[in-house]
Chains A and B, each alone.
Chain A
Amino acid sequence: MNKRKLLILIAVFALSLVGISLRGGPVPYVFFWLTLLVPAVCALYILFVMIFLKIYQRSDGRTMVCGTPTDFYITLNNESPFSFSSVRIKFYSSFSTVTGLDDGCVYELPPHSSLTRMTPLLCRYRGEYLVGIKEMIISDFLNLFSFRYRIKEPLSVIVAPANIRLETLRYLEEHPDADRDSLKDRPRPDIPVREYVAGDDTHLIHWKASAVMGKLMVRERTGTEKSGIAIIMEASRYSDKPEDYLPAENRVIESVLALAFYYMGNGVPVDVIYYSGRAVTVPVRTPGDYERLYEAMRGYFFGDEGNTVRLLDELQQEMCWQYSIIIPVLIRFSAREHDLIGRMNVAHVPVRVYLADDNADAAGETGGIEVIPVGTKAPTEDVL
């Protein structure tokens, strides 16, 4: 009930008290009883509506895809012999949008009637959350009171990540070593390497690695085919609030999938590495591999804050010899992550970090690691 109406009601009631204090007879007393009974009956009416109003909502299928509208149905049912004067619906809007129905629309339900509406529902982020009707606002027939309440059975959906198809990759040309031709055609240096042991063939000494390690290193194998790109996915959730973590995680997964699909589509070998209790590497060479990756990402759960560090820690130094480019897609890139990546990257392959953080500085390079902020707000295809 807004303040103005409350003040008017109080003033009218005070007036009625003055009336019965100064004058007797039916006029002041009936007025007094009316000022008591009208709000009471209106409140009872609202209670009646709350009890007898039936709300049904459903979507086409329980699983939705982020960014793809789905048909959503709501039905309001009045089986009582009285009209429901004013019913307003408020939808969840933090992570989803109902495009066909206005939040401010007031519905009237005549006796023994029902009202069904269909509208597209658009989910903005992947994950599991509540969509549809959030609360109802009921007003009485004199528009004196409004009562807002949450519905008992909200609709929960699992939203799959969007499949983003990138035409080009924005930052590809900036690293000549990272272009796809070089990744496709050139042979790769042998890796892994191990420490020199007396008696090893000196031809196997890998001078570059030795220079880096500060000791003699020899090649273990030669001629092994290696993957071109390693995409390392963020594994941690940094907030308890859905409005903080959902956009960031959505951006990470969309970016990982988009990049994986892009490289796969262009014939570039790409491995996606994520954390699921341990480091899991998913090679993506074929559309089938991509589908498996997509299914894994659909139900992926970001763990506690230490998971990314554990992932980076677990990834061996040898891994850097397998790839020409390492692309971590992270939410947070602090000094710790920087060190871990640096320690991992003994081969000094290019590292390009995509950072899904709206507060990150502009793109730059620190310690040989390129950091590209992609944020969470702009469309994925625009930032990648």
Chain B
Amino acid sequence: MIIGLIYDMLFLIPFAIAVSSLLPIAGEEVSGPVFVAFSAAAAVVIAVIRHVKLREKVLIAGTAAIVLLAVILYHPRAERIDFLASHIWIAEAALSAAAAAIICYLAERYRVLKTAAALAGTAMLIGFAAFSVSLSKITVCAVFAYTLIVFADTVQHRSVKEGGRGDGEHLVSVSPFIIVIVIASALLWTPKKPYDWGFVRSITESVMGSVAKINDRLSGKGWDSDTPFIGFSDRAGFGSSLTGIGYKVMDIKTSKAADPYLYLTGRVYDSFDGQNWDYTREYGEEERNLETAETVSALVGSDGEVSKALALTVDLTLEQDSYGTDQFLPSKCIPGTLKHKSGTEVSYYKLNVNSPEFAPLLESGHEPDKSEWSEASEALGISGGGFAYEDYEAYRDDVYEDYLPKTPISEKTKEYMDGVLEGASSDYEKLSRIEAMLKSFSYTESPGTLPETIKGSADFLDYLIFEKKEGYCSYFATAFVLLARAYDIPARYVQGYRTETDGKMHTEVMSVDAHAWPEAYIAGIGWLPFEPTPGMRGIFAAPAWKTPGESGGSPYKGPENIGDAAETEGDAGEHDAADEKPFDWKKIAVPVIFVVMFALLIFMADGILKKKRYARMDERLKALYLCRQCMILLKRRGLARGESETLSEYVIRVEDKVPPGFLDFGTLYEKILYSGMEVSADERMKLEENLELIRKSGKHMLHLRIANS
């Protein structure tokens, strides 16, 4: 019976769990796992009922009914309907278990149903996964468990073997292995996103990067090559396509969260001939410092310090992984902070360009006067030695001279751009519109070779804006610079690296992060980078930060608040004490009493029915019944007959272990079974005495067994 019960449960429990986990839960809110667990428990009860005798079936059903009735009756009449409505999920769980049981029992009879159910479940899972329908893990595991069980059962059923005791016992005895598989699968990691194969990708990128590096070195290509790989070359050109194999070129560590989109300037170009960029002035530390000082002059507050609402100082350490001798630095490097130790160390100003405080600075176009310049110098801790106001004025003039050459554009381009820039009130707004316009084009890594007919800025702009409408960063950076210059805004073409730090303090810069971008000069603020490349974000897309004290968080609960909290807790305590009621033991005791009475009733009824049945039997059937009862009692006392053991062998084997007279029934039993002899009333009465002897023997047999052992 136990084997049969476990065999049934192996199919029924996962099936019931699968069915119940798919159903919407009716009534009062109850958690999914509780609902499913209840359904599984109901399935177990159904399985047990199926395998026990009628008496036990009635007992279980009766007990359940009594308990249910007791629970309902204990609620006041007015609340009973609501109580039932809110607990309707119990009935739902029981019904789903019953439905699962019916299907399982039908499948037992018609084996093809089992296979069909397993296949249907698996198909359902595949369908749900394909259409991205969310399923709980328990459903999935239950369906797979059922499928695995059915598969194991089918394999066993189809095999022709000698020595087995039936499919049921086999499946029960190997089920622990199947259960281990299912439980392990259920406990293991199942993220919501598809697996990104990060480790495979990183290994692949690492290997391919190493190959690309070696290839570059062997072929002499690299930083100074004129490959179209963004071009770190003396002459920044346009290639037909970009090479995409990446490898790490540097590590960046910052003292605080760096710019989300960090630009590291490598080389600055000022002149364009239609095909290539070139530089006529050396961009070095002096110029860099003056740029920073100009920007700082707009950021210094009344306290003589750079306002933290506008800019934060970030310490940056850069370790280059490659052989490049070029220096890559963020813009707005703080003068005097550049050091070369294990790597390049520098501090720079991270600008809060999207903050409301910064916006007026972008629009005003106010150039610093002498005092403002002096303040900036003081804030930076520098003075004299190239930082005089006169030096700034000379620098500013050079900016307009070198970065604002005459840039002719075609009529067509002008007409188009006039439309784009119509109404723009400031240089910043113009630049933003140019950026937006270029961002509307398409990004491609293989735009093809730049036509040789392009001889100047006008040709280039016409080609890009009206014909090509796609390209990579160099195209868009070039177009931005040319358009800015065409509208009297100094601009320059910069090559370096652009990396997305995600606000982290450690970032790896890869070779594919090499980038070209435009920088435009806004009077009073200085140079600012823009990002016209479609799909990329620049500093103007970075979220603004709030300075400490402006976060608007909850006020600190100081010691003066503790009393209030304590007061409140005390009140709550008093309130709970007032509400507390003594536990009503009647709710447990009455149903238990009823159950016990019911059980006694059932046992009594069973006893009466058995007696009546016995009375109606003829002598032979009575004798058989009595002999079987003797065997059952002996089995309960640990003296079961072996499978292939005859009665005579059994008697011989066991007679030393039992008191005299116990096995007197053996000979008669054998005769009744094999010879079909009739039994007299005297013989039957002797069997009844034998049975009575065994029944009363209990302790005596225990002593005998201990003595024999």
Q: Please report A residues at the B interface, Cβ cutoff 8 Å.
A: 19-31, 33-34, 37-38, 41-42, 44-45, 81-83, 85-86, 105-111, 113, 115, 141-143
The distance in angstroms between the C-alpha atoms of A210 and B312, with both chains bound, is 134
Which B-chain residue is minimally distant from A111 (CB atoms)? Answer: B173
Determine the chain A residues whose CB is within 8 A of the CB of B186 once the complex forms. Answer: 30
Cross-chain contact A115 with B163 (CB below 8 angstroms): yes
The distance in angstroms between the C-alpha atoms of A27 and B128, with both chains bound, is 8
The distance in angstroms between the C-alpha atoms of A31 and B129, with both chains bound, is 11
Determine the chain B residues whose CB is within 8 A of the CB of A37 once the complex forms. Answer: 181, 184-185
Closest 8 CB pairs of A and B: A83-B173, A108-B164, A29-B190, A27-B129, A26-B137, A33-B185, A108-B161, A24-B193
Determine the chain A residues whose CB is within 8 A of the CB of B132 once the complex forms. Answer: 23, 25
> With contacts A21-B195, A81-B173, A110-B173 known, is A27 near B159, CB below 8 A?
no
Cross-chain contact A141 with B161 (CB below 8 angstroms): no
The distance in angstroms between the C-alpha atoms of A33 and B185, with both chains bound, is 6
Cross-chain contact B180 with A41 (CB below 8 angstroms): yes
Cross-chain contact B144 with A31 (CB below 8 angstroms): yes
| A-B CB contact pairs (8 Å), 7 listed | A25-B129, A25-B192, A27-B125, A33-B185, A34-B181, A83-B173, A141-B174
Contact with A along B125-166 (1 / 0, CB 8 A): 110111010111101110010001001100110011111110
Which B-chain residue is minimally distant from A45 (CB atoms)? Answer: B177
The distance in angstroms between the C-alpha atoms of A37 and B184, with both chains bound, is 8
Cross-chain contact B177 with A86 (CB below 8 angstroms): no
The distance in angstroms between the C-alpha atoms of A113 and B132, with both chains bound, is 49
Which B-chain residue is minimally distant from A110 (CB atoms)? Answer: B165
Cross-chain contact A141 with B156 (CB below 8 angstroms): yes
Q: By CB atoms of chain B within 10 A, which of A19, A26, A41, A143 has the most?
A: A26
Which B-chain residue is minimally distant from A143 (CB atoms)? Answer: B155
CB distance from B640 to the nearest CB of A (A): 14
CB distance from A198 to the nearest CB of B (A): 88
The distance in angstroms between the C-alpha atoms of A83 and B170, with both chains bound, is 6
Cross-chain contact A19 with B173 (CB below 8 angstroms): no
Which A-chain residue is minimally distant from B195 (CB atoms)? Answer: A20
Determine the chain A residues whose CB is within 8 A of the CB of B173 once the complex forms. Answer: 81-83, 110-111
> With contacts A30-B190, A81-B173, A110-B169 known, is A105 near B181, CB below 8 A?
no
Cross-chain contact A143 with B159 (CB below 8 angstroms): yes
Which of A19, A45, A83, A108 is close to B129, meaning CB atoms less than 8 Å apart? A19
Cross-chain contact B170 with A105 (CB below 8 angstroms): no
> With contacts A20-B195, A83-B174 known, is A110 near B159, CB below 8 A?
no
For the complex, would chain B's binding face be called helix, strand, loop or mixed by DSSP majority?
A: helix
Whether B189 sits at the interface, judged by CB under 8 Å, is yes
Contact with A along B410-431 (1 / 0, CB 8 A): 0000000000000000000000
Determine the chain B residues whose CB is within 8 A of the CB of A33 once the complex forms. Answer: 184-185, 188, 190
Which B-chain residue is minimally distant from A35 (CB atoms)? Answer: B185
> With contacts A34-B181, A110-B169, A142-B155 known, is A22 near B194, CB below 8 A?
yes
Whether B197 sits at the interface, judged by CB under 8 Å, is yes
Whether B176 sits at the interface, judged by CB under 8 Å, is yes
Which of A23, A82, A108, A109 is close to B194, meaning CB atoms less than 8 Å apart? A23
The distance in angstroms between the C-alpha atoms of A30 and B140, with both chains bound, is 7
Which of B144, B162, B188, B191 is close to A108, meaning CB atoms less than 8 Å apart? B162
Determine the chain B residues whose CB is within 8 A of the CB of A24 once the complex forms. Answer: 191-195
Determine the chain B residues whose CB is within 8 A of the CB of A141 once the complex forms. Answer: 152, 155-156, 170, 174, 177
Cross-chain contact B170 with A30 (CB below 8 angstroms): no
Cross-chain contact A21 with B194 (CB below 8 angstroms): yes
CB distance from B645 to the nearest CB of A (A): 15
Taking A20-B194, A25-B192, A38-B181 as given, write out 4 further A-B residue pairs in contact, using a Cβ cutoff of 8 Å, ordered by the A residue number: A25-B135, A27-B135, A30-B141, A45-B174
The distance in angstroms between the C-alpha atoms of A41 and B152, with both chains bound, is 13
Determine the chain B residues whose CB is within 8 A of the CB of A29 once the complex forms. Answer: 188-191
The distance in angstroms between the C-alpha atoms of A113 and B189, with both chains bound, is 40
Determine the chain B residues whose CB is within 8 A of the CB of A25 once the complex forms. Answer: 129, 132, 134-135, 190, 192
Cross-chain contact A107 with B137 (CB below 8 angstroms): no
Cross-chain contact B129 with A30 (CB below 8 angstroms): no
Determine the chain A residues whose CB is within 8 A of the CB of B135 once the complex forms. Answer: 25-27
> With contacts A33-B188, A45-B177 known, is A83 near B169, CB below 8 A?
yes
Determine the chain B residues whose CB is within 8 A of the CB of A19 once the complex forms. Answer: 129
Q: Which residues in window 76-134 of B have CB below 8 A to A? A: 125-126, 128-130, 132, 134
Q: By CB atoms of chain A within 10 A, which of B126, B129, B197 has the most?
A: B129
> With contacts A27-B125, A31-B144 known, is A41 near B159, CB below 8 A?
no
CB distance from A156 to the nearest CB of B (A): 27
Which of A34, A45, A110 is close to B170, meaning CB atoms less than 8 Å apart? A110
CB distance from A77 to the nearest CB of B (A): 12
Cross-chain contact B170 with A108 (CB below 8 angstroms): yes
Determine the chain A residues whose CB is within 8 A of the CB of B148 once the complex forms. Answer: 34, 38
Contact with A along B387-417 (1 / 0, CB 8 A): 0000000000000000000000000000000
CB distance from B3 to the nearest CB of A (A): 10
CB distance from A80 to the nearest CB of B (A): 9
Cross-chain contact A27 with B126 (CB below 8 angstroms): yes
Cross-chain contact A107 with B163 (CB below 8 angstroms): yes
CB distance from A212 to the nearest CB of B (A): 72
The distance in angstroms between the C-alpha atoms of A85 and B137, with both chains bound, is 31
Which of A23, A27, A86, A107 is close to B140, meaning CB atoms less than 8 Å apart? A27
Determine the chain A residues whose CB is within 8 A of the CB of B191 once the complex forms. Answer: 24, 29
Cross-chain contact B184 with A142 (CB below 8 angstroms): no
The distance in angstroms between the C-alpha atoms of A306 and B132, with both chains bound, is 82
Q: By CB atoms of chain A within 10 A, which of B134, B136, B163, B185 has the most?
A: B163
Cross-chain contact B185 with A30 (CB below 8 angstroms): yes
Which of B141, B161, B195 is close to A86, meaning CB atoms less than 8 Å apart? B161
Determine the chain A residues whose CB is within 8 A of the CB of B170 once the complex forms. Answer: 83, 85, 108, 110, 141
Determine the chain B residues whose CB is within 8 A of the CB of A30 once the complex forms. Answer: 137, 140-141, 144, 185-186, 190
Determine the chain A residues whose CB is within 8 A of the CB of B169 once the complex forms. Answer: 83, 110
Determine the chain A residues whose CB is within 8 A of the CB of B185 once the complex forms. Answer: 30, 33-34, 37
Cross-chain contact A26 with B190 (CB below 8 angstroms): yes
Q: By CB atoms of chain B within 10 A, which of A22, A142, A143 has the most?
A: A142
Determine the chain B residues whose CB is within 8 A of the CB of A107 once the complex forms. Answer: 161-163
Determine the chain A residues whose CB is within 8 A of the CB of B126 once the complex forms. Answer: 27
Which of B140, B151, B161, B181 is close to A106, meaning CB atoms less than 8 Å apart? B161
The distance in angstroms between the C-alpha atoms of A22 and B196, with both chains bound, is 9
CB distance from B120 to the nearest CB of A (A): 15
The distance in angstroms between the C-alpha atoms of A198 and B378, with both chains bound, is 151
Cross-chain contact B197 with A21 (CB below 8 angstroms): yes
Which A-chain residue is minimally distant from B184 (CB atoms)? Answer: A37
CB distance from A106 to the nearest CB of B (A): 5
Which A-chain residue is minimally distant from B151 (CB atoms)? Answer: A142
CB distance from A197 to the nearest CB of B (A): 83
Cross-chain contact B162 with A105 (CB below 8 angstroms): yes
The distance in angstroms between the C-alpha atoms of A29 and B139, with both chains bound, is 13
CB distance from B666 to the nearest CB of A (A): 26
Determine the chain A residues whose CB is within 8 A of the CB of B188 once the complex forms. Answer: 29, 33
Determine the chain A residues whose CB is within 8 A of the CB of B184 once the complex forms. Answer: 33, 37
Determine the chain A residues whose CB is within 8 A of the CB of B163 once the complex forms. Answer: 107-110, 113, 115
Determine the chain A residues whose CB is within 8 A of the CB of B162 once the complex forms. Answer: 105-108, 115
Q: By CB atoms of chain A within 10 A, which of B134, B177, B197 has the most?
A: B177
The distance in angstroms between the C-alpha atoms of A20 and B194, with both chains bound, is 5
Determine the chain B residues whose CB is within 8 A of the CB of A28 once the complex forms. Answer: 129, 194
The distance in angstroms between the C-alpha atoms of A134 and B461, with both chains bound, is 86
CB distance from B697 to the nearest CB of A (A): 28
Determine the chain B residues whose CB is within 8 A of the CB of A27 once the complex forms. Answer: 125-126, 128-129, 135, 140
Determine the chain A residues whose CB is within 8 A of the CB of B190 once the complex forms. Answer: 25-26, 29-30, 33
Cross-chain contact A23 with B141 (CB below 8 angstroms): no
CB distance from B421 to the nearest CB of A (A): 46
CB distance from B140 to the nearest CB of A (A): 4
Which B-chain residue is minimally distant from A37 (CB atoms)? Answer: B181
The distance in angstroms between the C-alpha atoms of A107 and B162, with both chains bound, is 5
The distance in angstroms between the C-alpha atoms of A300 and B164, with both chains bound, is 47
> With contacts A21-B194, A30-B190, A110-B164 known, is A82 near B176, CB below 8 A?
yes
